[in-house]
């Protein structure tokens, strides 16, 4: 294999899409698609633009729902792309062709469903919904020149409650998801993908009993 050095403008190698719901100042719900998210124990770290409406809502209310669309929900995700809940669209987004949208549920053809532990609604059409609270905020790019410093935040949320549809549960277990049935939507270099059917090979990691990871969590 021969490698060449390149300088990509983005490093989006492929991560699941998350539709984050938050509550606006006027108590209406907002939805934002994002995919710079990673998971550890009962935490998720969200990489978000500091000036997005979702970030402002999260910092103010400390609450959100992380809704995971499956790979059939591209039309919904595309309807939300290049929209913002910010009435004053930031200059950078204007240049990228973003527009203000007040009612993201209507725009995306999605249905709000009451949450149990937080105020922002869940998205009924998403097979996975995680109610969560903000527990930590970290500023990224502190090492960069002042124009970009602080433009991106890593927000740590604690998942309080997870809801999944029956179709993706692992038979015989109360708390497990069947990875053969769960089809996350993946964003790779701005394009939308699904996972190929089936495992590429047996996984050595999967020999570890899943419940052993619960020790990392502090449930209330
Ligand atoms: C598939 C997809 C993935 C995205 N990933 C991110 C992301 O990881 N972080 C981010 O800040 N914005 C991401 N965006 C852009 C946000 O959706 C955009 O900033 C949007 O205006 C946020 O909405 P809001 O201003 O109403 O919060 C993504 C957009 C799409 C369509």
How far, in whole angstroms, is CA 152 from its chain's centroid? 15
pLDDT at residue 217 above 90?
no
Q: Please report the pLDDT score of residue 216 as a whole number.
A: 77
- For residue 29 the two structure tokens come to 């719900």
Q: In the chain, what percentage of residues exceed pLDDT 70?
A: 99
The set of protein residues with a Cβ atom below 6 angstroms from ligand 1 is 17, 30, 32-36, 47-49, 52-54, 77, 81, 84-86, 98, 187
**65: enclosing H helix or E strand:** strand 63-68
CA distance 99 to 93: 8
To the nearest whole number, what is the mean pLDDT of the chain? 96
Residue 122 lies in a domain: yes
Q: Please report the pLDDT score of residue 145 as a whole number.
A: 87
Residue 220 lies in a domain: no
pLDDT band per the 50, 70, 90 thresholds, residue 38: very high
The total of structural domains in the chain comes to 1
CA distance 184 to 164: 13
Distant-in-sequence, close-in-space partners of 88: CB < 8 Å, separation ≥ 6 = none
pLDDT at residue 218 above 70?
no
Residue 123 lies in a domain: yes
CA distance 31 to 120: 10
Q: Phi first, then psi: give them for residue 82, nearest 5 degrees.
A: 60, 35
For ligand 1, the distance from its centroid to the CA atom of residue 119, given in whole angstroms, is 21
C-alpha distance from residue 11 to each of 6, 8, 16, 44, 99 (Å): 11, 7, 14, 19, 25
Q: Please report the pLDDT score of residue 219 as a whole number.
A: 52
Q: Specify which residues 136 forms β-bridges with.
A: 156
Residue 202 lies in a domain: yes
CA distance 212 to 195: 26
Write out pLDDT tens, residues 168-193: 999 999 999 999 999 999 999 999 99
Q: 138: domain CATH number? A: 2.30.110.10
Write out pLDDT tens, residues 72-131: 999 999 999 999 999 999 999 999 999 999 999 999 999 999 999 999 999 999 999 999
CA distance 6 to 116: 47
pLDDT at residue 43 above 70?
yes
pLDDT at residue 150 above 90?
no
Q: Please report the pLDDT score of residue 147 as a whole number.
A: 85
Q: Whose CA is nearest to atom 7 of ligand 1?
A: 34
To test the ligand 1 pocket, which listed residue (34, 39, 92, 93) has its Cβ within 8 A of the most ligand atoms? Answer: 34
For ligand 1, the distance from its centroid to the CA atom of residue 151, given in whole angstroms, is 13
Residue 6 lies in a domain: no
Residue 10 lies in a domain: no
For ligand 1, the distance from its centroid to the CA atom of residue 113, given in whole angstroms, is 22
For ligand 1, the distance from its centroid to the CA atom of residue 33, given in whole angstroms, is 5
Residue-wise over 47-81: b if at least 16 C-beta within 10 A, else e? bbbebbbbbbbbeebebbbbbbbbbebbebbebbe
Q: Please report the pLDDT score of residue 97 as a whole number.
A: 96
18 CA closest ligand 1 atom index? 3
For ligand 1, the distance from its centroid to the CA atom of residue 185, given in whole angstroms, is 15
Domain extent for 124: 15-215
Residue 9 lies in a domain: no
Residue 89 lies in a domain: yes
């Amino acid at each position: 294999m021969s490698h060449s050095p390149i300088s990509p403008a983005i490093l989006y190698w492929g991560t699941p899409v998350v539709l984050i719901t938050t509550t606006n100042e006027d108590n209406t719900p907002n939805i934002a698609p994002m995919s710079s998210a990673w998971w550890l124990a009962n935490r998720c770290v969200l990489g978000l633009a500091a000036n997005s409406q979702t970030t402002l809502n999260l910092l103010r209310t400390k609450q959100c729902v992380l809704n995971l669309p499956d790979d059939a929900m591209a039309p919904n995700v595309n309807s939300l792309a290049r929209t913002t809940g910010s009435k004053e669209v930031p200059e950078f987004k204007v240049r990228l062709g973003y527009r203000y949208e007040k009612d993201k549920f209507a725009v995306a053809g999605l249905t709000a469903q009451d949450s149990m532990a937080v105020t922002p609604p869940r998205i009924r059409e998403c097979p996975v919904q995680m109610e969560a609270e903000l527990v930590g905020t970290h500023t990224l790019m502190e090492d960069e020149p002042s124009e970009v410093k602080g433009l991106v935040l890593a927000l740590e949320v604690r998942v309080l409650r997870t809801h999944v549809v029956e179709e993706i549960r692992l038979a015989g277990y109360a708390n497990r998801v069947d990875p053969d049935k769960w089809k996350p939507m993946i964003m790779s270099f701005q394009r939308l993908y699904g996972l190929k059917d089936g495992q590429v090979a047996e996984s050595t990691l999967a020999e570890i009993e899943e419940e052993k990871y619960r020790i990392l969590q502090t449930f209330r």
